[in-house]
Each structure stands twice: as C-alpha cells, then as structure tokens.
Structure 1
Amino acid sequence: MKKKLIFITEALWIGGIETALVNLLNRLDYDRYNVTCLILRDCQEMAYRITPKCRLIVSDRQHAVTFREGYRYKRMYNLMEEPQHASKLRRLIWRILRFLLRAPEARRYAAYVKKQLGGEHFDTAVIYSDRAAETAVRAVSADRFLMFYHHGAMRKEYHDELGYRQAEKVIAVSEALAEKLKAYRPCYAGKIIAVNNLIDVSGVQTKSMAMPEIVFPKDCFNIVSCGRLAPAKGMDLAIAACAKLVQDGLADIHWWIVGGGPEEASLRAQLRALRMDRYVTLLGMQDNPYPYIRQADLYVQPSRFEGHCVTVLEARLLAVPILATQNAAKEQLEDGKTGRLCKLDAASIADAAAELYRTPDLRQALREALRRHDFEHDNALILQKLYALL
C-alpha cells in the first residue's frame, strides 16, 4: 500500500524555497507515495510546474479555492495586516491588535483547515515552510511530522516552537545551516539533520535555452544576480560594488538583477544616487531566469544570509563562473576551483569581480570544472536520504 504524504507550505510564489519544493515534489516516486501539497495562500505562480500526480489543496483565508466553505474569520485576520506609511498611533494600534488577535485567529484558521480536510489521515506530514508550522500541527492528522528549515538568518527569521516540538526531524538544507540551528535551538539539536536541495537538471537546462526578452550586449562584461529584493539577498551591495568597478575604470560592464520584492524602490533610489542607471538594470521578477543566467559572463550572489542557495546551484548547473559571499555559498563553492568566495562587503565583491573580469583563463577553468560535476548523482543521494525519512 502506498504511503500518504502531505507537504504544507505558505504559498507557491516565485522563490528559491518554492523552487526547491517543486523540484522535490516532481522527483518523488509516485509508485510508492500518494502525495498532497497544501498551501495556505492563493499564490500559485509556480503551481503549474508541479506534476499532476501531486494533489494540490489551496486554503486561502480571503476566499474559497479548493474548499467549498469559506473562512469565517477573515475580518479578524485582516485587522492584523500591517499598515503602510501609517502614523505612530496607527502602528501602535496595529501592534496591540496583532498581540491580542494573533493566537485566537491562528487557532480558528487551523480549526477551519482541519474541518475542510474532513478527518483525512496521512502517514507523514512535511512542514516545508516553518511559517506554516502552527497550522500544520493543529490541522493535519498524521502519524509523524517532519519540518524543513531554509533560512540563513536565525534571529531575524520566524521560529515556531510548536513545529519544533512536534517534528520528529528538523531538516536544515545544508550542513552549515544545521550547525547554526543546533547552536540557536540547542534543546532540539538531537532532531536537526542536514539534507541539501534537489535541482531540476533537465528542466533548468531546457529552460535556459529559451529566447530571453533581453539579449545581453556582446561588447559588455555581463554580470547577473538573482534573488528577492530584500535585505538578506544583498542587492544593495551588488549596486555599490558595480559603482566601485566603474569608478575603478571598468566601464564596459553591465549588472543585471533578476527579482522583485520590498526593496525595489530603495534600490532604484540607490541607482539614481550613485548614477548607476547606465550600468545596472533591474529586470524584475522572472518566471524563467535561466536564459539570463546562461548569458552571464559572471554570476554574483551577494547575499547576507542563505541556507542552501538555489540560484547558486542553478548557476553551477549552467556552468557559469560564480562569485559569492562566504555567507551565501561557502558550502556550495570551492574557492578558486568551482567558484570564487569573498567577504560580505561591496569592496570585496567588486575586487573579486574585477579579478575575474581580468582573468578569462580562470573563468574558463571554473566553467570546465562545473561541467564535469554530476548533479544527477547528487540528486540520487539526496533522494535516498529523504526516502529514509519519509
């Protein structure tokens, strides 16, 4: 008899965590498992990528999607929505309302999901986003729970104690992240293990050959960075590094940034202040970023925090020379052999990028080393670890 699995996550918007989940769902052995994916917001940008063998359930507070019955307490939830550009008094009222309403609303929402699931029982429930942990634990009936942890930051990220307590294993997506999490949550250290993210080898390679909307100029040294426009991804450092490169005389460069997010306005202001509009282009969120990565002379990941960076993994697969901060990819790159690592500041990023700009032989050596790597062998080992847990 097939085992019944359910994966619970916040949403399927475009992002690294969501890409990793889609890759995992598509690689599972559906002869062994009946698989359900439950998302808690009607954000389905990546849903079309999931195999139809996986049942998708969408449980949104604002309106009914999969379930016939709507959520009765959405007004309570909406009262907790963070106000934008509000006065200090309005923000104080919001904080008080959030403090008073968060716990009772979360219990009501979990009860709603549990009722809609109709008592269905699963062998294993996998909490893929820790932000979905409370709902998963309260709403899903399962013999055992597993929980993934993806974030490089510790203090700045959400940690759900209910999820930690209920999970049989907490799966960090890299060895370094597992050690950081053990130090930050020592009472759960015995549960914490490391399993890397999978990569869709054929999918990334095929999608990278699509014709991009923008073809990079051949007379430029084209640098690409991908990631959510948020502080953790360090795109402000990329812009500052580009400014230093231009100031140091490298005028034939162009830096392309793929992604969207809350920092877009401040990054555009930074571009204007540094007069970098000619040298940096924000390409926005791209459903298929791989043609841009493939065109790059250099891929740069300037992140302040990462767990196991999916875009670095994808750039490695496409055999593009990679420069990353040590915070972004220390485990994923061997400095000088499969990529370059640098310190977490704009000057270090610029200096390392300039070195790679001036040494085409090094870039070619990095490309050749990456082409020799067997990513499907990595996937097989990762799946073996996951099957032992499921």
Structure 2
Amino acid sequence: MRKSILFVINSLGCGGAEKSLLSLLSLLDYDKYDVTLQMFRRGGMFEELLPPEVHVRKELDYTAFCSQSLAKQMLSFDLRRIAARVRTSLFLRSNAKKGSPLHDAQAYWKYSAAAYDPLPERYDVAIAWGQGTPTHFVAEKVRAQKKFAWVNVNYEAAGHQAEFDEPYYKEYDSIVCVSEELRSIFDKAFPRYSKKTVTILDINNPKTITSMAQQPISLPSEDGLTLVTVGRLVPQKGYDIAAKAAWLLKKRGVRFRWYVVGGGDSEPIEKDIAQYGIRDCFTLLGAKANPYPYMKAADIYVQTSKFEGYCLTLAEARMLNVPCVTTNFDVVYAQMIDGDNGLVVEMSAEAVVDGIIRLATDQELYQHIKGYQIQEKKGNVEEIEKFYDLLGE
C-alpha cells in the first residue's frame, strides 16, 4: 500500500521554495507514494509544471471566502469567518503601526486560525513547506502520523517571532532546514528543538535547468554587458541596491542592459528606476515560468540579496556557467567560493558595481570563473535520498 503524503504550501508562484518543491515532486517514486498538495492561493505560474500524479486539493473554504468581494462576504452571514476577516485586518494594521513585532504570517494566523476547518482526511505524512502559515496550518488543522516542517529562509532576518511559533513547532517530528547555516540560526532561536532539526538542501536538477535554458527568447541586441537578476520583487532581494548600482554603472560610462526577471510589487523598484533615471538600461521583465534562457543570455548574473535560505537562483546561474557577482548575504558561502565560481562582494551598490566592472574588464578572471563553473559539481538530486530517509524508507 502506498504511503500518503500531504504537502502544504502558500502557493506555486515564482520563487525558490516553490521551485525546490517542484524538483522534489519530479523525483518522487509514485509507485510508493500517494501525494496530495494543498495550496492557500491557486493560480501560481508553476502549477502547470506539477507532475500529473500529484492530487491537488480544492481551495480551502476560508481562503475562497476571503477572495470574494466584501459585499458577498457580508451577505454570506457566516459570522465566524466575517469576524475572523475583520479582526485579522485590524490586527495586521495595528501590527504594522507598532513596527511589526509579529511577522505578517504570524499576525494573520493569530486571528484567522479559528476560521479554518481541519482537513477531514488523515495522512501518513504531512509536510509544511515553509515557515509561517503552512507550518501553523499543518500543526493545528491536519491529522497525520508524522509531521515535518520545512524552513527555507533565515528565521531571524525574516522577522519571525520565536515565542509565537514555539507551540507550533512542538507538533512536528522533524524540522528540516535547507542549509547548515539556516539550521544553526533556527537552533539558536529554538534550542529546545535542536534535536529535531535536520538539513536537506533545496533540490535542483541540472538536466532540467539546462534543457529549459535552450528555449529561444528575444532580447534587444545592443553593445555592452548583459546583466540579469532573477527573483521576486520583495525587499529581501535587495533591488534598492541593484537600482543604485545600475545608476552608478551608468555614471561611470559602462554600457550595459540589466534585466530583472520576477513578479511581485513593482512600485518600490519603479520609484527607484524613475529617481535614478535608469529606465533606458534597467528593465523589469515580470515573472517568467522559465527564467533560465534569460540567465543563459547573461554575461554576468547579479544577486543583490540581503538574506536567503540558500538562493536557488544563484545555484542555477552557476549550473548554466554564467559568472556571478553576489552580495555576501548570510548563507552565501554554502555555495560560493569567492574568486572561483563567482565574486562575493559587500552588501552595497558600490561593491556590486566594483564586482561587475572587475569581471567585465579582467578576462583572465572571467574565464577562470567560467572554467571553474564548467567543472564544478552540478545539482544535488541525491538529496532525495535524505528525504526518503526522513520518511523512514
């Protein structure tokens, strides 16, 4: 009899955690596992890439309720959910005014939990794919013989409050961190759970990425450098650093075009683009289900993150043998060797610019990095064996 596994994730929009889950699901043995996926938000760009063997649960009743117009919500006369909606909205505003002592996901769950019904099914294994709402939901609303929580971001830097999450992580048999560095950070926040933490790296499959990178794309043909950054439009990714770096490059007379692939709230970066006058050389392409042809087209891949869980996009650029310049975010040395597979620079626009110019003008260094990337180990599909060990196989 196949073992039943439930994965719970916020959505399958574009992001590293989402790509990592897809990679894992693409490698699972479906003769042994009956896999179900629960998402809080449907319609993400990566949904079309799900293996056909994965059963997708319908949208949760409360998230469907919240997607309705305010008028429909009120006319439903569902007092439990109306009350949760109002209280959550008021608390999120209050939390923001107080400087966000709780992470938004924690503030959300504090008053929305009562509006969610438990899932009726019972599973052999339930996996919360990511901190925040998936972790809270699986802990309280899912029945399973074993429960595992994935941690794929720097818990402290992301602003999560340990005291709030303490009782939720108590419900888990194991807590999986996607790098040793993240595990150390998590263990510091939750010393009482350190015996439950394990490390399983985000899985990336070089064959899939190399194949997808062959898709033809059309970018303006211009002289100068082609720079590419891939990532959601969120503060964590450091686009304020990227925009200022583009302005400094332009001031120094460097010919370039910088492409950003990623979806999200574009308003802050659009303001920076206007302020710095870089619209002619800094282009937002929006979210792409397949960002790899853009990575492959780059002369230099640039990562300006402020913190990460692992940073799959940086690993993917290395798989495509594109020399990289990256900021020295918290877990960068889990994959980067400064001067060999890329350049690691200080977390400032000036340092990013110096790194880009250094790679662009020092052909010996550029070719050394490219040569190192060609011979370095690609991907880590063997991490699936650690996942099977976790399941007790």
| TM-score, normalization by structure 1 | 0.86
Q: Does residue 1:227 correspond to 2:234, yes or no?
A: no
Deviation at residue 296 of structure 1 after TM alignment: 0.1
Distance in 1 separating the partners of 2:63 and 2:127: 24
C-alpha separation in 1, matches of 2:106 and 2:146: 31
Kindly state the Cα deviation for residue 35 of structure 1 after the two structures are TM-superposed.
1.3
Native 8 Å contact 1:133 1:162 kept in 2: no
Residue 354 in structure 1 maps to residue 354 in structure 2: no
Which moves more between the two structures, 48-57 or 197-206? 197-206
Q: Tell me which amino acid in the other structure corresponds to 2:178.
A: V
Tell me the SS of whatever aligns to 2:170.
helix
* Contact 1:6/1:38 (8 A) holds in 2: yes
Residue number in structure 2 paired with 1:13: 13
CA-CA distance at 1:187 after TM superposition: 2.1
* Alignment partners' CA distance in 1, 2:300 and 2:107: 49
Q: Structure 1's 295 and 162: CA in aligned 2 closer, same or farther, altered over 3 A?
A: same
Matches within 5 A, 1:208-223: 208-212=213-217, 214-223=218-227
- Residue 101 of structure 1 deviates from its aligned partner by 9.1
1:310 has 2:312 as partner: yes
Instruction: Find 1:205's aligned residue among 206, 210, 221.
Output: 210
State the alpha-carbon separation in 2 of the partners of residues 325 and 99 from structure 1.
29
Task: Kindly state the Cα deviation for residue 311 of structure 1 after the two structures are TM-superposed.
Answer: 0.7
Contact kept? 2:245, 2:349, Cα under 8 Å: yes
Change in CA separation of 1:285 and 1:3 when aligned onto 2, cut-off 3 Å: same
Contact 1:207 1:291 in 2 (8 A): yes
Q: Find the counterpart in structure 1 of residue 73 from structure 2.
A: none
Mapping for residues 107-256 of structure 1, pairs under 5 Å: 107-109=114-116, 112-114=117-119, 117=120, 120-130=121-131, 131-158=133-160, 160-212=165-217, 214-250=218-254, 252-256=255-259
1:162 counterpart letter in structure 2: P
Question: What does the per-residue CA deviation read over 1:329-383, in whole Å, with 9 as the maximum and x for residues that have no partner?
Answer: 221111111111111111111111110111123222222222223335x211x11
Query: 1:362 is matched by which residue type in structure 2?
Result: L
Cα separation, 2, equivalents of 1:102 and 1:362: 50
| Residue 155 of structure 1, CA deviation | 4.8
- Larger CA deviation: 158-167 vs 323-332: 158-167
Whether the 8 Å contact between 1:4 and 1:35 is mirrored in structure 2 is: yes
Partner Cα separation in structure 2 for residue 266 and residue 140 of structure 1:
38
Equivalent residue runs for 1:9-158 within 5 Å = 9-60=9-60, 61-63=62-64, 73-80=80-87, 82=89, 103=110, 105-109=112-116, 112-114=117-119, 117=120, 120-130=121-131, 131-158=133-160
Residue 5 of structure 1 deviates from its aligned partner by: 1.3
SS in 2 for 1:330: helix
TM-score calculated relative to the size of structure 2: 0.85
Count of residues paired in the alignment: 366
Task: Answer with 40-49 or 142-151: which moved more.
Answer: 40-49
Indicate the RMSD between aligned Cα atoms, in angstroms. 2.7
Corresponding residue of 2:71: none
Give distance in 1, aligned partners of 2:107 and 2:33.
41
Distance 1:140 1:202, change over 3 A: same
Using the TM superposition, give the Cα deviation of residue 321 of structure 1 relative to its aligned residue in structure 2, in angstroms. Answer: 0.7
CA contact (8 A) 1:134 1:162 kept: no
Q: Deviations over 1:208-252 (max 9, x none)?
A: 11122x3242512011111111111001101111212222231x1
